[in-house]
Amino acid sequence: MSDEIDAQKRAMRAEIRERRRNVTSVEAEAHRAGLTQQLITLVSGRGARSVSCYLSAPGEPDTSGFVAWANEQDIRVLFPLSREDGLLDWVVASDEGTEEGLFGLEEVRGEVLSPLAVNDVDLMIIPASAIDRTGNRLGWGRGYFDKTLGSMDNRPPVFGVVYETEFVEHLPTSLHDQPVTGVVTPDQIVYFHERD
């Protein structure tokens, strides 16, 4: 059964990557503007003063507008840094720019904090390839966020970010998959569990 679930997940990820490659620049800008507004609404509505967020890779829902706003509002933003042991270190947003990380993706430069640093944020904004209507999240297959979320004793609210077409009815799930509190798309914010 596990092999069948893994195959289903791989197929879904491949389909999502292909769809994301075909997004036009006009569509991407509209998605960016919508996502920025939804994330501002989420963070403002919750009164969050410290968040974790991801630096968008090409094709991913673009968080750059939200990050710029958060910096203007003096909201502390932590970004993940991938480690070879499968854990995430964290770095505070700074003016030091970015550099290529472990998997060839851009990562924020700055003072590196331990995996425990994320325990102190008011909410987490994490990437996903898809999220279903019950809060199951399909990541990209390396398990970094599942390990992080699964190891947290006092986990803050966690919101996965996807495009509207990636907010689906049902996802194949494995035992280690960690659910999210809600989903944010360029069009909406949806809570799955009682509002934390």
- Domain annotation covers residue 130: yes
Q: 60 vs 54, 78, 163, CA distance in Å?
A: 10, 18, 9
DSSP per-residue string spanning 140-191: -SS-HHHHHHHT-SSPPPEEEE--GGGEES-----TTPPP-SEEE-SS-EEE
Over 80: is that where the pLDDT of 67 sits? yes
The reported pLDDT for the residue numbered 95 is 63
Q: Among 139, 108, 131, 129, which Cα is nearest to 182's?
A: 131
Decide: residue 172, CB within 10 A, 0-12 exposed, 13-18 middle, 19+ buried.
Answer: middle
Tokens read off for 78: 């932590």
Q: Among 127, 123, 101, 153, which Cα is nearest to 52's?
A: 123
Phi and psi at residue 5, to the nearest 5°: -65, -45
The reported pLDDT for the residue numbered 93 is 73
- Domain annotation covers residue 22: yes
The reported pLDDT for the residue numbered 97 is 63
The reported pLDDT for the residue numbered 51 is 97
- Domain annotation covers residue 196: no
- Domain annotation covers residue 178: yes
Report CA 94 to chain centroid distance, whole Å. 19
Tell me the pLDDT band of 3, cut-offs 50, 70 and 90.
Answer: confident
110: containing domain: 2-191
Over 90: is that where the pLDDT of 103 sits? no
Summarize pLDDT for 4-63 with one digit per residue, the tens: 988 999 999 999 999 999 999 999 999 999 999 999 999 999 999 999 999 888 889 999
| Residue position matching structure tokens 């809600």 | 182
| CATH code where residue 177 lies | 3.40.50.10420
Summarize pLDDT for 128-183 with one digit per residue, the tens: 999 999 999 998 877 788 988 888 888 999 999 999 999 999 998 888 889 999 99
Summarize pLDDT for 74-83 with one digit per residue, the tens: 999 999 988 8
- Domain annotation covers residue 54: yes
Summarize pLDDT for 104-128 with one digit per residue, the tens: 566 666 788 888 889 999 999 999 9
List the alpha helices (DSSP H) in 22-131.
25-46, 64-72
- Domain annotation covers residue 137: yes
- Domain annotation covers residue 117: yes
- Domain annotation covers residue 68: yes
